[in-house]
Amino acid sequence: MTETLVQGIIDLLGGSVGKEAIVFIISMIPILELRGALLVAGPLLGVPVATAIPLSIIGNIIPVPFILLLITPVFNWMKGTKRLKPLVDKLEAKAMSKSDKIEKYEFWGLVLFVGIPLPGTGAWTGSLIAALLGVKFKKAFPAVILGICMATVIMWFISYVLLGNVQLLG
């Protein structure tokens, strides 16, 4: 599914925006985020690592403050509607099913949850869980940023070293 989504985005945007914009946009999309962006940037698009990393980090960070600060009021509003309540309940249940380590270790649990690139983890889900658990912004935001940095190192290694195409400058 993820490969199809990535290919669909590349096909959709490929003719109208540059490779760098594709990397940036992918890094902002839930599920794909920075991990998908770096995998696409290196092996598929040949974007130099010195360009891909800042684009991926910035793109992945942009949604985080909005999720941390606004998701709870948005979800509360959506729960007040008959049509959207089941969707919110499903999203909350899925996120909270992964919340045990974040709840137990809070800051470091959130860093590791965001930073270790496994399915269902990342900045979007980590921020959602932090917001639902009531973790304060001043604690959650730096933890998510550290997690994004950790994921960057791991995904750089996978994308540019293991999978090849080590290109430092364009």
The whole-number pLDDT of residue 2 equals 61
Q: What's 74's DSSP letter?
A: H
Contacts of 153 (CB under 8 A, 6+ apart): none
Six token digits for residue 78: 């959506």
Q: What's 38's DSSP letter?
A: H
Say if residue 70 is in the same domain as residue 51: no
Q: What's 122's DSSP letter?
A: S
d(CA 35, CA 138): 25
Per the structure, the count of domains in the chain is 2
Whether residue 52 is contained in a domain is answered as yes
Say if residue 116 is in the same domain as residue 131: yes
What residue numbers bound the domain in which 69 lies?
63-150
Say if residue 141 is in the same domain as residue 105: yes
CB 34 within 8 Å of CB 60: yes
> What average pLDDT does the chain have?
90
Whether residue 168 is contained in a domain is answered as no
pLDDT digits (tens, 9 = 90+) for 41-88: 987 888 999 999 999 999 999 999 999 999 999 999 999 999 999 999
For the four alpha carbons of 69, 148, 167 and 27, in that order, the dihedral sign comes to: negative
Residue 166 has pLDDT above 60, yes or no: no
Q: What percent of the chain has pLDDT over 90?
A: 69
User: Is residue 70 exposed (0-12), middle (13-18) or buried (19+ Cβ within 10 Å)?
Assistant: exposed
